[in-house]
Structure 1
């Protein structure tokens, strides 16, 4: 009886339908299958992969808030400063980008609606009340506006007292207080007058800048590229246009506008409205170069500027003056003795290479020693080394010295010490050594030589 019963059980089991595992997609909540929409709310879905060593919950939360922020639209008022200054959309685009970049870190009172996960992934669903978000932002805007008005009033007081530079600083602090609202038309009542606060602060700054004149004396300088030989100086003068009265404590910035070199960048006008501009080095071989001196608007605006604020500051028209430089190239006299195994070479390879490099860096040459400013002397010789099989080895030793013709003082010297060359005979290995010496001169010694000689 047992065998037929066992057989019957087996037959029943074989005929039973198989239980199918559930489809993973069917287990997911509706908000993962279709983008959720809730009237009166911003919504955001975040996702993170479980890697075993990451905080996937926090990562998914950040992803959800970033997604939520994408729904927040930034409108720029037609009467805002951004709209008034707009010429190429850069300000508006930067403003919108800034608002959305910072919003995810600043939004408050968002809610977790749901979360779902499987073995490898984690999803989270957040929402934010549109009405509450706008209420919070309006409260923040009022606080910022109150601070901006306070700075604006201090600016007006400073301006009335004749402290224009202090007034500019306060106006900038006013603008900075409402930086996040530059796209809005912030209307306030100041001194019984309704005004657009940001626009008025901006216009006031530009108005003060327009009253300032900046000039340099001398405005044209002829100098040698070896700038230390001439010790050129120019003085910047800052005055008010109408009264020609000097303006003290005006920050200035100097830089090469054409050409290149080292010029001390930052200055502040003294009580006489003066600042001496210091040029330390001419880096370009151009014969005509220009140094621009400008009122340093960034210094007036303050440190730690955001990209949007920096872009706004760049729209101001600032007083500017130029120093035109007529650069004379140093005149060089060259002597050389290049040998191969003690015999004079027919081709002065290192000397020719040196002349080529100097010419490319803005030097000129003369055959008259008494006319030269610099004397370059090149000495080089090769000596025979070992023979290994069919390979011949040669060693080259060279010295390059530079002296000033005015006083005969040596200002630079470098040695090319035992540069090894290879060839199928000694002549070829000597040529190889000279080629390697020229490569060393160009790649390793020339920059150092130029920096020293052009001091």
Structure 2
């Protein structure tokens, strides 16, 4: 204290600060921070030498926290008999450790629409620059069709991590799976400091892409169509259904061994009454779709498709025309939607 002064409203007291004492205190804080940071850095180097990239990354992020107040200054330290610029060395080692990781996975997988992708098809391997597998590396997954609930995985002791997709529902010909090293989760585990997290969020991480080739399932169509007890050779309902399925981009096969789904149509007409000269006819329709395992995946039935004409046979043909319109307007779309949703919908 060098002086003081007061009036009715205020009291002033003057201090003189020692620049030497201040510098000494700052240097002591800096030295303590550098020592703590250097200890984390040493653990990181030991982890790198031991082929443990995850621990190395954790320790390197932790090494930044003590020296954060001195980011604007140059901090030197002696490490293994060598003078280093500590902050620069930590960032450089972080960058090289991330860049040394390689993430490999399948370049492409084929899957039928409505079917899932098993985990043995989606296995990814993380290795270091020397080809050694890296365990406990977190990976983050994104899928262009939709967000995945299981979008975080961690590599095992063999450096591998796998996941599955329950069903591919995209009507596109292909989708993309992107997998990358989840450095963000490592940073969050190592520090809660927002500023450090923001700086490290800019780091580029290893990634891999897998193209999902979406194969359309094949349909086999069979039908029994009768009009007032007589078989119809042209089978208008089967032809309408085939045409609509082809328009939707799904192939039709005549070979049962190739079929992923079998569509069976049963239809018949019967006379239900007469109004004046007009004969009334009602058509009964049943559409059943089964998968290769014989499980029913879709069914539709109705007996209220009506038509009339002064000739019974023509009335029946008119009923078939109405039934064909119903098939084209909603039945085909319904069964395709059911198939796209996958086995969980059956």
Contact 1:287 1:327 in 2 (8 A): yes
- 1:294-333 correspondence to structure 2 within 5 Å: 294-302=180-188, 315-325=202-212, 328-333=215-220
- 1:337-416 correspondence to structure 2 within 5 Å: 337-339=224-226, 342-344=229-231, 348=235, 350-356=237-243, 358-359=245-246, 363-382=250-269, 394=282, 396-404=284-292, 409-416=294-301
SS in 2 for 1:449: helix
Contact 2:290 2:298 in 1 (8 A): yes
Contact 1:254 1:277 in 2 (8 A): no
TM-score normalized by structure 2? 0.61
State the Cα distance separating 1:211 from its structure 2 match.
Answer: 1.0
Name the residue aligned to 2:100.
Answer: 211
The 1-side partners of 2:275 and 2:161 are apart by 68
Contact 1:224 1:230 in 2 (8 A): no
State the Cα distance separating 1:268 from its structure 2 match.
Answer: 0.8
Distance 1:231 1:301, change over 3 A: closer
Distance 1:448 1:383, change over 3 A: farther
- 2:291 aligned with 1:417: no
Distance 1:231 1:164, change over 3 A: closer
Name the residue aligned to 1:244.
Answer: 131
Which of 175, 178, 192 in structure 2 is aligned with 1:292?
A: 178
Name the residue aligned to 1:17.
Answer: none
The 2-side partners of 1:273 and 1:348 are apart by 58
Q: Which runs of 5+ in 2 are unaligned?
A: 1-29, 78-82
Name the residue aligned to 2:341.
Answer: 451
Contact 1:396 1:430 in 2 (8 A): no
State the Cα distance separating 1:341 from its structure 2 match.
Answer: 5.1
State the Cα distance separating 1:319 from its structure 2 match.
Answer: 1.2
Distance 1:371 1:436, change over 3 A: closer
The 2-side partners of 1:149 and 1:386 are apart by 98
- 2:326 aligned with 1:436: yes
- 1:146-295 correspondence to structure 2 within 5 Å: 156-162=41-47, 163-169=52-58, 186-188=71-73, 190=75, 192=77, 204-216=93-105, 219-221=107-109, 224-225=112-113, 227=115, 233-241=121-129, 243-256=130-143, 265-284=151-170, 290-295=176-181
Contact 2:111 2:168 in 1 (8 A): no
The 2-side partners of 1:159 and 1:369 are apart by 61
Contact 2:219 2:250 in 1 (8 A): yes
The 2-side partners of 1:360 and 1:232 are apart by 34
How many residues align? The count is 298
State the Cα distance separating 1:203 from its structure 2 match.
Answer: 5.3
State the Cα distance separating 1:244 from its structure 2 match.
Answer: 1.5
Contact 1:223 1:232 in 2 (8 A): no
Distance 1:377 1:432, change over 3 A: closer
Distance 1:358 1:319, change over 3 A: farther
